[in-house]
Chains A and B, each alone.
Chain A
Amino acid sequence: EAGVAQSPRYKIIEKRQSVAFWCNPISGHATLYWYQQILGQGPKLLIQFQNNGVVDDSQLPKDRFSAERLKGVDSTLKIQPAKLEDSAVYLCASRVEGYGYTFGSGTRLTVV
């Protein structure tokens, strides 16, 4: 079974620029999550999708972050404009009901 694919692996941008991350979950996994992991902290949930609908985006900074999941499969997370404090690893995870999470390798974002 293929895992959760994320790209790019690394990204360096200047503050106020925009950036997008892509996630391809495991086939058949209806639930998809984006987590933000700041260095020295545990992952923090940004948004949860069920198929192509948003279940919870209460912790997504909506003034600069947006996410979508087209056709209930791939998902993109965008930051515009980026701030220095957005430097983190962005993790995508997918899950099928009754089973645990599978995480991707993440995208490490550095904002300079």
Chain B
Amino acid sequence: DQQVKQNSPSLSVQEGRISILNCDYTNSMFDYFLWYKKYPAEGPTFLISISSIKDKNEDGRFTVFLNKSAKHLSLHIVPSQPGDSAVYFCAASSSGSARQLTFGSGTQLTVLP
């Protein structure tokens, strides 16, 4: 029972263009969503988050959009850079779960120079 799904295992984008990574969830109790970035042989590092009371959060080149009715969120990276090439995990938590994170399976982003 996957509560958080990332249906695209991989994505390739040209440098300077927009990268859009998608994530769907099924548990309506989730109220906080996060994106993590992971390089090989390193642990996931926090990128950006959004509370369910918002529909957009922006931090530099990274913007996360939340559509609660569709139970969908997306991460936009503009402009994409080769250093952004990594695996991106979507994660969700709820206040009732002691803030445990439920992760999606990840999307490998490759930014081509």
Residues of A within 8 A of B (CB): 4, 9, 31, 33, 40-45, 48, 50, 55-56, 91, 93, 95, 100-106, 108
Contacts and interface: CB of A to CB of B under 8 A. Distances in A.
B51 to A, nearest CB: 13
Given A33-B100, A48-B100, A95-B99, A42 B43 contact: no
Interface residues of B, number: 23
B103 A104 contact: no
30 contacts: A9-B41, A31-B99, A33-B100, A40-B9, A41-B105, A41-B106, A42-B6, A42-B89, A42-B91, A42-B103, A42-B105, A43-B44, A43-B101, A43-B103, A45-B101, A45-B102, A48-B100, A50-B98, A55-B98, A56-B98, A56-B100, A100-B34, A100-B46, A101-B101, A103-B36, A103-B44, A104-B43, A105-B42, A105-B43, A106-B42
The A contact surface, by secondary structure, is strand
Interface in B73-113: 89, 91, 98-106
Contact of B43 (A4, A41, A100): A4
A58 to B, nearest CB: 10
B57 interface: no
A81 to B, nearest CB: 27
B49 interface: yes
A18 B101 CA distance: 28
B45 interface: yes
B8 to A, nearest CB: 13
Contacts of A43: 44, 89, 101, 103
